[in-house]
Amino acid sequence: MDKNSVGIVTPQVYTFGETDEDALKLDCGKKLGPVNICYETYGTLNSDASNAILITHALSGNAHVAGYNSEDDEKPGWWDEMVGPGKYIDTDKYFVVCSNTIGGCSGSTGPRSINPKTGQRYNMNFPVITIADMIRAQHRLMQHLDISKWLCVLGGSMGGMQVFEWAVNYPEAVSSVCAIATTSRISPQGIAFNWVGRESIMSDPNWNKGEYEECIPENGLATARMLAHITYLSEESMDNKFGRNLQENDNYSFDFQGDFAVESYLKYQGNRFVGRFDANSYLYITRAIDYFDISEKAGGDLSEALKDVTMPLMMVSFTSDWLFPPTQSQDVVKAMLKNGMNVTYCNIDSSYGHDSFLLEVDALGSLLSNFIRNSFMEVRNG
């Protein structure tokens, strides 16, 4: 185990909404309760709770951002290189929180949770959720942890969407925000990819209208993951990693079993995903992403939508990210500058595509470390 690892971390669960009055009100008009929020914390909250950082995860992520859940874990949390003692997000200095979003399948209430009214799994009776609903649940967790203001809320991809929702809906509860490899609204192309992924799941006979147990829709979920994974890479990274290399044979097989290394890689990624994620959760979370548009309530005017975002904002994009290209980050920067607000922007040169926010640890980590340190200094100095 890495000496700079946070070590063994035990997931915790916070439950709220056990009465109708306390239930979570959703954008779809329904209420959800009771709600379980699975979360992990790293580091120690200081006496005035001024060193708390919230990390928000991407579509297929969860609360396990760093460390290990047991001695037998083969791999640490999904951002372990970034979070830990002496690392860029230094848990010797900061109290770091990460929670699994509602709608997920890693401990927080989602479609595979038991509906207390029926005693059966929600499945497709789970209410449709939005990114804003996710952060409303996180805000309940924040109150439970006795944190009145986050030092920083940061996240990449779908996590960056949650960052925007925090900045717009709870500006008084955040000292600074950092949105990474993300967008202020999902594009038609992004909606299209999500649609095809959901169609592949719902077309799998084992999906059974969401009512599955032993026979899960493996093929559909694996195909959805393969499609999505292509969008996470770049043409350059795929060419560098795979080229047109054959997987096993020196010649074409002249069948359809997968000759190329890139085909084998995608199949591996799809099969591995099936073992850790739920098909119904994939439907609900991708739909939440589809509905995300921070400017919608302002009639599409991004500057107007961001007018109350007065805290420092850092935007980070990556040159080869074609899922959420740099131009989409630059739109946010222009809107902030139009409002005369404090915004920092960096477009990191990387060939890794959208996955750069997970792989460019040193380049991104240096930016985050300095940004958070400056925010902490401002908070401490009043």
Q: For residue 84, give the CATH number of its domain.
A: 3.40.50.1820
- Confidence (pLDDT) at 184: 98
Q: Of 243, 268, 285, which closes a domain? A: 285
How far is it, in rounded angstroms, from Cα 111 to Cα 216? Answer: 14
- Confidence (pLDDT) at 1: 63
**Is 166 domain-assigned?**
yes
Q: Are 62 and 168 members of one domain?
A: yes
Q: Are 157 and 278 members of one domain?
A: no
Nearest Cα to Cα of residue 7 among 100, 78, 71: 71
pLDDT in tens, 119-135: 999 999 999 999 999 99
Question: From the candidates 50, 57, 99, 354, which is the catalytic residue?
Answer: 354
**Is 6 domain-assigned?**
no
DSSP letter assigned to residue 101: P
- Residue 34, CA distances (Å) to 17, 99, 288, 320 in order: 4, 17, 20, 42
**Is 276 domain-assigned?**
yes
**Is 147 domain-assigned?**
yes
Q: Are 244 and 159 members of one domain?
A: no
Q: Are 170 and 109 members of one domain?
A: yes
Give the H/E segment covering residue 162. helix 158-169
How far is it, in rounded angstroms, from Cα 355 to Cα 159? Answer: 13
Q: Are 273 and 323 members of one domain?
A: no
Q: Are 260 and 307 members of one domain?
A: no
Q: Of 285, 313, 336, which closes a domain? A: 285
**Is 371 domain-assigned?**
yes
**Is 82 domain-assigned?**
yes
- Confidence (pLDDT) at 250: 81
DSSP letter assigned to residue 127: P
Alpha-carbon 320 to chain mean position: 19
Place of tokens 């995903």: 273
Q: What residue ranges in the chain does DSSP mark as E strands?
A: 12-16, 24-25, 31-32, 35-42, 52-56, 83-84, 89-90, 95-99, 114-115, 120-121, 152-156, 177-180, 313-318, 343-348
Q: Of 239, 255, 285, which closes a domain? A: 285
Nearest Cα to Cα of residue 166 among 155, 178, 174: 174
Annotation says 57 is catalytic: no
Q: Are 173 and 204 members of one domain?
A: no
How far is it, in rounded angstroms, from Cα 154 to Cα 194? Answer: 24
**HEC string of 17-59?**
CCCCCCCEECCCCCEECCEEEEEEEECCCCCCCCCEEEEECCC
Q: Are 78 and 214 members of one domain?
A: no
**Is 179 domain-assigned?**
yes
Q: Are 91 and 200 members of one domain?
A: no
297, burial (CB in 10 Å: exposed 0-12, middle 13-18, buried 19+): exposed
Q: Are 252 and 303 members of one domain?
A: no
Question: What 3-state class would DSSP assign to 112?
Answer: coil
Structurally, how many domains does the chain consist of? 2
- Confidence (pLDDT) at 4: 79
**Is 1 domain-assigned?**
no
Cis bond upstream, residue 34 (ω within 30): yes
Question: From the candidates 90, 133, 321, 355, which is the catalytic residue?
Answer: 321
DSSP bridge pairs for 346: 316
CATH no. for residue 279?
A: 1.10.1740.110
Question: From the candidates 50, 113, 157, 281, which is the catalytic residue?
Answer: 157
- For residue 259, report the phi and psi dihedrals to the nearest 5 degrees: -80, -35
Q: Are 63 and 107 in contact (CB under 8 A)?
A: yes
How far is it, in rounded angstroms, from Cα 106 to Cα 116? Answer: 19
How far is it, in rounded angstroms, from Cα 97 to Cα 145? Answer: 10
Q: Are 157 and 299 members of one domain?
A: yes
Tell if the pTM clears 0.95, that is, is over it. Answer: yes
How far is it, in rounded angstroms, from Cα 52 to Cα 188? Answer: 36
How far is it, in rounded angstroms, from Cα 22 to Cα 190? Answer: 35
DSSP letter assigned to residue 353: G
- Confidence (pLDDT) at 248: 80
Q: Are 131 and 160 in contact (CB under 8 A)?
A: no
Complete DSSP assignment for 282-295: HHHHHHHHHH-BTT
DSSP letter assigned to residue 178: E
Nearest Cα to Cα of residue 294 among 132, 184, 167, 156: 184
Q: Are 88 and 223 members of one domain?
A: no
How far is it, in rounded angstroms, from Cα 28 to Cα 50? Answer: 34
Annotation says 144 is catalytic: no
pLDDT in tens, 206-252: 999 999 999 999 999 999 999 999 999 999 999 999 999 998 878 89
Residues of the chain where predicted confidence (pLDDT) is lower than 50: none
Q: Which domain holds residue 236?
A: 193-285
